Structure 1
Amino acid sequence: MGRIAAASLIGTAIEFFDFYVYGTAAALVLGPLFFPGFSPLAGTLAAFGTFAVGFVARPLGSVLFGHVGDRYGRRPVLFASLLLTGCATVAVGCLPTYATLGIAAPVLLLLLRFLQGLGLGGEWGGAVLLTAEHAPEGRRALWASFPQIGPSVGFLLANGVMLGLTAGLSDAEFRSWGWRVPFWAAGLLAAGGLLLRSSLAETPQFEELSASGRRAGAPLTEVVRDHWRLVLLTAGALAVGYAVFYAVSTWALAYGTGRLGLSGPVMLGCVMAAVAVMGAATPFAALLADRWGRRTLCLAGCAGCALWMFPMVALLHTARPALMFLGFLGALLAFITMFAVVSAYLPELYEPRVRCTGAAVGYNLAGVLGGALTPLAATALSEGGSGPPWGVAAYLTLVALVSLGCFALLPETLPARTAAKEPAPA
């Protein structure tokens, strides 16, 4: 289990490194380089628009790779998704800007971002099922939480590189070539991830399905026909997690450097410190889920998000690093209380024959609802006025309340003996 969990964590860290590098670059530099004829606000919105395309592609990737995972095994998904995302990310780093290619530059940027999202849409389902289906029942949430640490590690790697580059290079150097370095580094990381995953075994549950001839012939058809309500509820429930995370990691970065006049290293430092604490807290939230229930932790995290959005925005607007860190930390701890659990919760909600498709589609559809729209909506809502952007806080609170209602309609999946506080097996 240790080797399987490590391979899943490292793989998701690499995939999310690729994804987050783009988000940080969109907030800091892609607007003027690929949309130079736009105003600063319009350029940022256009860059966030290409950012959103990655989220639109993720459900499509979950359909494509979910079919592979349910028909041919979880293991092939891990290779194909990592290879696709890595190649697309390296290509972004090699892409000439508008000054060289004209309109072809933003069009190609859009295409590569779509391919990034397509690969990431398959990665989550493959990595989570690899650990969840190998894990012992009484510790499933704990072991399945390791892929959920990967996004924190990927974020810290991506933004650590960006922080070093913005601090060590002049603005002209960063805009000329420095921003490309993390995208090039993705190629080396992907190669290492592929090598690590080459020795992993297929999951016992899929081998059992394959031996019994009960694999789904058309997984997406079965999911749409038999589990459509579950897909919609999980997408609505998880939307708040995406909204909160990308409000902190992407919109707040652009708001702090643009509206508040803070430096990129200061904003990146505040967000990275909060993400580091969040990553460390992930397995502890999963342990609570193994003890008290998946749905219970999800409801608590969702309620925490609803209560913390106005304080977070107020603390951000102070422009004081310590207070901004506190605002970000409260939001991300509420977020991870949910998302440390969903890697065990979602697979348990679906039957094994369509699990890869169903869980991944619900998870990534939430990304469209929460992650794709939030930087765009928050940027528009925070424009104008001199006070804190309360419209952003109201928007995030509304999303949290909708997600809370969706979680309330989902069942608990923790076995009764564990939920009844009997000792879980070691």
Structure 2
Amino acid sequence: MKRILLIVGGGIAAYKACELIRLLRARGHAVRCVLTEGGSHFVTPMTLAALSEDQVFTTLWDLKDEAEMGHIQLSRQADLIVVAPATADLIARMAAGIADDLATTLLLATDTPVLAAPAMNVRMWQHPATRRNVARLRADGITVLEPDEGAMACGEYGPGRLPEPTAIAAAIDGALTPVEPVLAGRHVIVTAGPTHEPIDPVRYIANRSSGRQGFAIAGALAALGARVTLIAGPVSLPTPAGVDRVDVETALDMAAAVEPALPADAAVMVAAVADWRVAPAPQKVKKTGDTPAFVLIENPDILATLSHSPQRPSLVVGFAAETEQVLNHARAKLTRKQCDWIVANDVSGDVMGGEANAVHIVTADGVDSWPRTGKDEVARGLARRIADALMGAA
């Protein structure tokens, strides 16, 4: 039996917390609830107490509960803290480290793993402030689920709906499952992010890759015990825990960094490497009325070079970011590059720079298509699959 502390935030989706409690209790977990002031406008303490069969906590100023610093005990007695629904306001206060009520105070005082299930209006979810706050929480080690997409109580449509209780319960099961260091003693190279190819001292050729998927994969592999060398293009993401990071700028830099990182058991080439570069001008190119002519020079093919290297890892995974005929292009790339897998995705929407991804794993044996989910979830799934492949080849 695991002990789950459920923080119920304010929002119409708070009613789904009742079903979540029922599901968790059916799994044999003990559930204790903290109801925020906003949440109390949608569900009552009596309802949550009846479903959880335990006391419900609502305030930081309860003399009886706080006589022995009850918020500290609440924060540390659980195996997992779940925030559902996690409203935009609650996410913002968590990201800022604010502790002005019972929920935020115990979240700041805890060293227990935290999982948050967002729920808010689509425009609030897509607002740059919320995106920054979510990124901050994930960088701090908090698991933030992707919201569902659909019709909302406000009449709008889009991402922002609280995930269904069954999906949250499944994520809780995953968070409560101990991670075995199955890749201990293995070395994996991961490339991530874009490359910047200078045109002159102030301009460059680049793409919209954020590096988030590659960084998430590096972190997931490290969590499985691997020694991970992350070769990162110019991004400002925090280095995942347990990962050795090498920062580069250009495709030539990245190619030069891969070779000394060998030997490795696996290489996961997530980086969106620029296909071309130019011979950069020594000074800033000025407007003269004439359009400057740049001669494009093809960059080295890092993936193909690694696949044919005498030090080739036993598993080489390439990525294909496509905007059309995704599977056809991925199959062609698998053959052309001579790697073992191609992880293909359609980037014609908001994948580059976004928080979610839908991927197809293309191998000589066929295609395994995964539904759209958070990049952290994709990373954990790929890390497990890589671990299975390496252990099967041992």
- Look at both structures and tell me which one has the larger radius of gyration over its CA atoms: 2
Q: Under a length normalisation based on structure 1, what TM-score does the superposition of the two structures give?
A: 0.22
With normalisation by structure 2, the TM-score equals: 0.23
| Larger relative helix fraction | 1
Structure with the bigger RCO (C-alpha within 8 Å, sep 6+) is 1
